[in-house]
Structure 1
Amino acid sequence: MQGELLQSNPSLDFKIKRDFALKSLNSLCYKPHIEETMKAETEKLASFLLSQRNVPHIQAILEPIFLRLIMFVVNGKLYSNDDANFHEIWKTFQINSQLLVSKWEDLKSISLFQSSVSYNFFQIRERSEIQMAYQRDIVNRHKDCFNPNIVSDLVDCSLVMLELNEDSGVLSQEDLDGIFVELCSSGNQPISATLAWLILYVSYFPDVQDKIYQELTSVMGIERSPRMSDQPHLPYTCAVILETQRLATVLPFMYPHMATEDTQFMGYKIPKDTAMLFNVWSLHHDAKHWKHPMKFDPDRFLEDGDLRIPDQYLPFGDGLRSCPGEGISDILLFLFSTNLLYYLRFDLQGKVDLEGEMMGYVLAPKPFSLTVTPRETVVIDIAAELGETLETSVCMIEDDVSFDDVLD
């Protein structure tokens, strides 16, 4: 299921698919309802964490939240936490994530990838077919109430593209369905792992956490929480996010790619169909480019108080194969990082391991326990102020459509 954008050959259809995904996702970044929905989810999460006070494994809490939000950007539907369809979708994506690793036979000799789980092939194929059929049903429901003047999600963007023939007739509906499913399934683990690393680092270095809070309150006061428009005024907080992405490097080898023909690179002969990895970890920890590369130091991204991003910083890759979801990822990381640290203080319980562990292709922190306490910015009951989930103007898939029955 995964790999259409991440691993396909750089053919004409691939370039059209990637351009569509990149252009559409970047345009959706500026939709007010996208930010408002994400912001509401940060406040719900802050309220939940406060109600728990002791949190044993925060990444397990974050993963379904980010999957729900990415699916909202793609399909326009924000699933509830207890939605049966959502849990089936999540299970399918988890299985396919393991398949993505296990199918690259050449990688199995690398110790990082030896933990992949084997699943029954027919089970994987059946669940993938159901997922694609379910996605097609969502697209068809969008078509029934499509209005080119109201573009609220990625499916709407695709319908506009097809109506204007911007793909020159190259893409089929099956191609687009594959893009939608891939984008939903490929982003939640890296984003949740990055935010978990950030919370671990600021808890491990409380002076960094305090400095973020001071910067946040100097800009917002205690009357309102952070928004995307505040980003230019929060250089230190942004530097902490960048340093987390550099030091953690949650996708240390990105996703595998294939050589499309025999070629030579820097004196090496690379046969056609050779699996290749981009070693971002090595680049982000190279002492030639980073002073004390294993040290957590947000100041390396600051110069005279302004944000500075070196050319050697490539958490989303580079060139034709760079991640098209970079814009949405940046928004999610900024809103969740700033809002959580605005409302809450995180303190570690017991010893922690900063080495991390591989989950498929993602380098995640090992589970760690937190104590969560409110900041003085929590002057109201967050949950009481949120009300119901924000609605958008798109048509939603009906609640009586079952993931399990969609092929019937």
Structure 2
Amino acid sequence: MPTISGNIGTSTLTCDYLNVFQFVKKYGNILSLDFSNVPSVVITGLPLIKEVLNHMEQNFVNRPVTLTREHISGKNGLIFSSGQTWKEQRRFALMTLRNFGLGRKSLEQRIQEEAHYLVQAIGEEKGQPFDPHFKINNAVSNIICTVTFGERFDYQDSQFQEMLKLLDEAICLETSRMCQLYNLFPWIMRYLPGPHQKVFENWENLKLFVSGKIDEHRRDWNPDEPRDFIDAFLTEMTKYPDKTTTSFNEENLICSTLDLFFAGTETTSTTLRWALLFMALYPEVQEKAQAEIDRVIGQGRQPNLADRESMPYTNAVVHEVQRMGNIIPLNVPREVTVDTTLSGFLLPKGTMILTNLTALHSDPEEWATPETFNPEHFLENGQFKRRESFLPFSMGKRACLGEQLARSELFIFITSLIQKFTFKPPLNEKLSLKSRVSLTLSPESHHICAVPRL
């Protein structure tokens, strides 16, 4: 590992983010580590995070790509691309999302419609214990699927359920020790069986699913009337006969579509699963939110985004779920593009940068009860209060491009669910807030009861 000038604590790390937290406490806000032999630096504290993600962002705008990830998608798509590819793909994705409803009433109506289907599906459980995982995944995924594929998928669609399970398995196994070993010894690991091979197989099957949807689109594609993201991308590809000068090619169409599918499914659905757990474990919070919902909306209509301004407590609950859920503890990594000095320390080109959202969202100087689920963190004199130290979507040019969509989904889905149900632990069972470490931090598999409200 390269030496970073200055007195920075150094450790070789193959453990989870909680261990990172302990090292930060011991060594300070700029901490160098090795992740699978990748020289890395963890940045802690809002001033330094703002410096990296806003003020000096041009030096930290790239994404590091592990050998595992390079095997899966190369340097294509939206999430792990850099340079021209990232600029072209992000600009196009933002424009296309807006063209197909982002920020408009039409997309809000799609979210409301899907929330209705989810309420129906959960109602069929009749208050008995059930695992909410894939019902929620399917519901959330359907929102981005209407934009990318131009269709939603029924909760009994066996092929789509299989795709959701492949995605869930892949993002869990990608953090396994065997994948770490692949990043270190690819010339050996590519010949050995293990979870890394399952990761590659699952992502390949997901890419084949997307390729199939692209083929379906080509059969009745009208360049003048794009129906969704895939149609719009196919049209964009026709503008560049020389594919060597652009990222608008078949591989990026597959990878960008899959990135939207992954990001538009996993993060929001994981947050919703945390929400139901917190409601079941903090019944007094659930009751207060339900009282506000009953007062502002009642039971006769669905929640809409305009209600948010009149519902500070429910809005605070949504934000507190994100703070406590902490689903991307060290943010999506960045890479130093040129040798850079930060707070007196030299960060060599190629160093991976991790911004410590865990510490930011649990700083006792920022949050009155950092380890406790407490919506009051986002309230002041009964009104909703924005917090500068709340960054679940990151910040800067590489902040989550679906932030507006995710905020809308979280408010409408959470409000719709606790409007119609009271979530409780199964009889004689104790729910846990233990997490499963994958590419996101998600709840362990569990069952919950959704008792219909009269």
Range class of TM-score, shorter chain = 0.7 to 0.9
TM-score by length of structure 1 reads 0.78
**What is the rounded CA distance, in whole Å, between the counterparts of 2:235 and 2:309 in structure 1?**
32
**What is the rounded CA distance, in whole Å, between the counterparts of 1:172 and 1:343 in structure 2?**
45
Secondary structure at the counterpart of residue 422 of structure 2: strand
**What is the rounded CA distance, in whole Å, between the counterparts of 2:158 and 2:367 in structure 1?**
46
Amino acid in structure 2 at the alignment position of 1:57: D
- Per-residue CA distance 1:226-276 (angstroms, 9 max, x = gap): 123322222211110001101221111123333334333223333333333
Selected match of 1:317 from 391, 394, 398: 394
**What is the rounded CA distance, in whole Å, between the counterparts of 1:154 and 1:56 in structure 2?**
34
Alignment of 1:323-362 (within 5 A): 323-349=400-426, 350=428, 352=430, 354-362=432-440
Alignment of 1:256-275 (within 5 A): 256-275=333-352
RMSD over equivalenced CA pairs, Å:
3.1
Aligned position for 2:132: 58
Alignment of 1:357-368 (within 5 A): 357-368=435-446
Amino acid in structure 1 at the alignment position of 2:88: I
Aligned position for 2:120: 47
- Per-residue CA distance 1:125-155 (angstroms, 9 max, x = gap): 4554454344234234434544577555322
**What is the rounded CA distance, in whole Å, between the counterparts of 1:210 and 1:337 in structure 2?**
13
Aligned position for 2:86: 14
Contact 1:59 1:196 in 2 (8 A): yes
Selected match of 1:228 from 299, 305, 316: 305
**What is the rounded CA distance, in whole Å, between the counterparts of 2:304 and 2:223 in structure 1?**
28
Secondary structure at the counterpart of residue 22 of structure 1: helix
Selected match of 1:38 from 111, 119, 123: 111
Aligned position for 1:119: 195
Q: CA deviation at 1:343?
A: 0.9
Q: CA deviation at 1:293?
A: 1.4
Contact 1:250 1:362 in 2 (8 A): yes
**What is the rounded CA distance, in whole Å, between the counterparts of 1:164 and 1:235 in structure 2?**
47
Amino acid in structure 2 at the alignment position of 1:158: F
Contact 2:274 2:325 in 1 (8 A): yes
Moved more, 364-373 or 321-330: 364-373
5+ unaligned residues in a row in structure 2: which ranges?
Answer: 1-71, 185-192
- Give the paired residue count: 365
Structure 1 residues 56 and 315: CA distance shift in structure 2, 3 A: same
Structure 1 residues 295 and 119: CA distance shift in structure 2, 3 A: closer
Aligned position for 2:36: none
Q: CA deviation at 1:106?
A: 11
Bigger RCO of structures 1 and 2 (CA < 8 A, at least 6 apart): 1
Moved more, 319-328 or 30-39: 30-39
Structure 1 residues 135 and 302: CA distance shift in structure 2, 3 A: same
Alignment of 1:159-174 (within 5 A): 159=234, 161=236, 169-174=246-251
Aligned position for 2:65: none
Structure 1 position 295 matched with structure 2 position 369: no
**What is the rounded CA distance, in whole Å, between the counterparts of 2:425 and 2:204 in structure 1?**
43
Structure 1 position 189 matched with structure 2 position 266: yes
**What is the rounded CA distance, in whole Å, between the counterparts of 1:241 and 1:228 in structure 2?**
13
Q: CA deviation at 1:181?
A: 0.7
Q: CA deviation at 1:337?
A: 0.5
Structure 1 residues 34 and 159: CA distance shift in structure 2, 3 A: farther
Structure 1 position 153 matched with structure 2 position 228: yes
**What is the rounded CA distance, in whole Å, between the counterparts of 2:182 and 2:216 in structure 1?**
41
Secondary structure at the counterpart of residue 436 of structure 2: strand
Contact 2:170 2:199 in 1 (8 A): yes
Aligned position for 2:96: 24
Among the aligned pairs, what percent are the same residue? 26
- Per-residue CA distance 1:53-97 (angstroms, 9 max, x = gap): 122432343223323433233211212233343134224423442
Contact 1:7 1:255 in 2 (8 A): no
**What is the rounded CA distance, in whole Å, between the counterparts of 2:181 and 2:386 in structure 1?**
36
Selected match of 1:138 from 213, 229, 233: 213
Contact 1:25 1:328 in 2 (8 A): no
Selected match of 2:450 from 358, 365, 372: 372
Q: CA deviation at 1:313?
A: 0.7
Moved more, 236-245 or 215-224: 215-224
Structure 1 residues 104 and 277: CA distance shift in structure 2, 3 A: farther
